[in-house]
Structure 1
Amino acid sequence: MGTPALHVMAAAAVQVSTCFLLAWLITETSGKTPDIQVACLFSKDCILPCSFKPTGGEEVQWFKQYDLVYSLPQGSDHPSEQFVGRTSVSAQQLALGNASLLLQRCGLQDRGRYKCRIAKAKEENESFVIVKVEAPIHSVNLEVTRLSGFEEVKCSTQGVYPAPRVSWSTEPPTLLKPVTRKIPNRLGLYDVESKLKRLRDQSNITYICTVNSSYSNQTWRASLTETVINDITLTSKLDSSLVWTEVNSAEGKDFTIPCKVPWVTRNFSLTWTFTLTGTNKPTVICTYDSEAQLLTNQWEGRAWLDALVVQAGDGSLRLLSPQSAENTGTYICIVSSLQRSHESQTAVNITSLAHESTV
């Protein structure tokens, strides 16, 4: 678990924020209010943030380019047909200065730049949100096929957006000439298929297919090993996935570090480790063995893991009253079973109260 190849990919990856609702600010030099970017999951609900200082009686309008998305109170103009029945703003939250838009069942057509307009009398404030829509990788299949008249090793994944990047390697290294096809389906999501000719002059070889998502920091790695013993070819597979995220939080505030396994298995082990910033010595936080249903927590009172939830494939870790000096660093969750592994690496930055008071 935690192979060197996966760690190299993680270190080279672009850090993004967590919880499959990813929001960050883009720095601008023009002096304008920076846009907020939000990545929404395909077919899932998504929140577009918008806040203001409430005084009562504000009018709220959301636009996508020039199309009306939502308005409160409702006027004579009606929302674009694309958004009818799919948008809402909480009246309770509105009274607190939160005009965030709930966009339901996100599709590729929802990508674009949105404007939140808050108006009262002659005062008007605007903010902008750029929406990306992503369909993440859920699985990668690696197999030997004979459909083309000769034997090929095929790597495939379905229903991904944007189209992911596919690369091949072998152990021991060989010269490869793969052919990759990325075809959009009826929903606009990509079905990807990459093939290369099976190497018949090798008695022991491992084929490795790596699939990287384009928006988020998600990597899948599938390997197929062929070993020839007494003219009999033995084949074994290993599928592994890696997700790299970043979390920022305030000192003393409980929060959850995500680790959701993209596949279901019965017998597996889970290990959480932590490496303090500035060091290279990981320490074990907790472990879980599903077969024995045994949870061992070395950070009792500082971190919490729900064994029942872990059984359902969610190994997310809850940090309790984290401190900047003690909890800022890299957290790694590794879930492994017989032929599969999943690794989540999260860079956590805890802002100290002393720092916040000087800002």
Structure 2
Amino acid sequence: MSRVKCAVCLVAVTLLWTGILAAEDVQVSCRLQDSCVLPCTFEPGEGETIYWTQQLSVDIDVHSFYNDRDQLDNQDQRYQGRTSLYKDQISGGNASLQLTAVTFQDQGRYKCYIDTILGPTESFIQLEVQVPVGKIDIQQVGNTTTCSSKGIYPQPVLTWSTDPPHNLTKQKPTIQQDQELFSISSSLVTSLNVNKTAFSCTVTAGKSRRTATLSQQATVSEVNTDVSIPCRGSTSDLTGFRLTWSFNHRETILMHNFTETPSKVQIQEPWRQLVQNMSESGSLELQASSLQREGIYTCELSDAKQTHISNTFLKFETKQVTGEPGYLVPVIITVIVLALASLVIFIIMTKCKGKPSGGAGESTRGVGVPLSHVGNGNRRDQRLSTEENSPY
């Protein structure tokens, strides 16, 4: 037993002395198509020999350096023209590899092997290729809120939250993959008051994480008055944010990039005649004008990690006539009564004018009309006819 322990100790000491006993792999994340550096350092010594290989079922030659120059005759064709060392730093112990135009095939474990007059050393690097979470689309139709994002790698995860917090009935996210890239979407059905609740959707993929928050409100303003529409979710300091105001989800009103110095507001036509100003907090100020438009005004405020979307439905109303309702009611009733009375009188007069002066049996010769064919109103006419026929 003692001999076995001594043998193990001897092997461990030998590995430590030669530098072969490696530490944990160094984790490196690189964006797709970007340049990436795989770190590797060593104790400076003369006669440097550097071998970079990718650890697959059969090791692939990535980059070699010895005799004070690159040796690329055996380099795998996938890496041709994409690798380089910091040659001016090799003598100082830097053997890091720069890899350009990173692809999904570059993912995996790499070994950096170095040999000098001091002996060999090696280290291992685990490379993960990422396509960070970019734009998140979040929208609300009725009581359903939908969140989606696409063009992501590795496989993403989507979570929901609300402010104030509520128990949510969440739909299982739908994940699809097209040419290595993932897309994800999820819907949330709720009976919450959407004007009092902010909905947040967070998408995470590897070390990449982004949150989109949606809130909405309704506001009523008088016609031809100045209007101020707040950008909910905005912070007191907008440095590093990009702000966009739009109308009805399709027409851009203005853009303001706070990442630039100096920052400048870009107002689109024809909104230049209507936009009065934009406050420091991002509120949109519209001046009184006949061009004022009802609809949905959307403020989108975003930086590298989060997006706040605020929808405001703006409606205009005409100012009511000054006066108390108790004073107007009797006036309205009086007008209606007078109108009805006038109508009744008009109908009666029309009927009276339309009646004939004689009965159906009257002739131009003045022949008397039988009493059975006339009413009381025609008695005078009947009497006159009798007198005309009298021989006296």
TM-score norm. by structure 1 comes to 0.52
Secondary structure class of the residue paired with 2:133: coil
8 Å CA contact retained: 1:163, 1:190: yes
Q: Which has the higher contact order (CA 8 A, sep 6+)?
A: 1
Q: Which amino acid aligns with 1:208?
A: F
Structure 1's unaligned 5+ residue stretches are 1-30, 230-234, 242-258, 271-287, 293-334, 346-359
User: Residue in 2 aligned with 1:225?
Assistant: 216
User: Residue in 2 aligned with 1:37?
Assistant: 27
109, 115, 121: which one pairs with 2:105? 109
- Give 1:153 shift: 2.6
* Worse overlay, 55-64 or 162-171: 162-171
User: Residue in 2 aligned with 1:133?
Assistant: 129
1:168 matched to 2:160? The reply is yes
- Give 1:207 shift: 5.2
8 Å CA contact retained: 2:103, 2:129: yes
Q: Flag the structure with higher strand content.
A: 1
Q: Which amino acid aligns with 1:97?
A: G
Matched positions, count: 230
Q: Flag the structure with higher helix content.
A: 2
User: Residue in 2 aligned with 1:191?
Assistant: 183
- Give 1:84 shift: 1.9
8 Å CA contact retained: 1:336, 1:342: no
8 Å CA contact retained: 2:210, 2:305: no
1:153 matched to 2:179? The reply is no
- Superposed CA deviations along residues 124-148 of structure 1, whole A, max 9, x for unmatched, are 2111111122211122111246xxx
User: Residue in 1 aligned with 2:81?
Assistant: 85
Q: Which amino acid aligns with 1:85?
A: G
User: Residue in 1 aligned with 2:36?
Assistant: 46
Structure 1 vs Structure 2: percent identity of aligned residues? 28
8 Å CA contact retained: 1:39, 1:133: yes
Secondary structure class of the residue paired with 2:173: strand
Cα distance in 1 for partners of 2:54, 2:305 equals: 34
User: Residue in 1 aligned with 2:63?
Assistant: 70
Cα distance in 2 for partners of 1:60, 1:240 equals: 52
User: Residue in 2 aligned with 1:339?
Assistant: 300
Secondary structure class of the residue paired with 2:256: coil
- Give 1:182 shift: 1.6
Q: Which amino acid aligns with 1:166?
A: L
From the superposition, tell whether residues 208 and 168 of structure 1 become closer, same or farther in structure 2 (CA, over 3 Å). Answer: same
User: Residue in 2 aligned with 1:206?
Assistant: 197
User: Residue in 2 aligned with 1:19?
Assistant: none
Q: Which amino acid aligns with 1:43?
A: Q
- Give 1:260 shift: 6.1
Q: Which amino acid aligns with 2:43?
A: K
Cα distance in 1 for partners of 2:194, 2:41 equals: 63
From the superposition, tell whether residues 219 and 238 of structure 1 become closer, same or farther in structure 2 (CA, over 3 Å). Answer: farther
Cα distance in 2 for partners of 1:240, 1:213 equals: 23
- Give 1:80 shift: 2.2
8 Å CA contact retained: 1:266, 1:290: no
- Give 1:203 shift: 6.4
8 Å CA contact retained: 1:169, 1:176: no
Secondary structure class of the residue paired with 1:267: strand
From the superposition, tell whether residues 180 and 138 of structure 1 become closer, same or farther in structure 2 (CA, over 3 Å). Answer: same
TM-score norm. by structure 2 comes to 0.49
Cα distance in 2 for partners of 1:336, 1:107 equals: 42
- How large is the Cα RMSD of the aligned pairs? 4.1
- Give 1:263 shift: 8.0
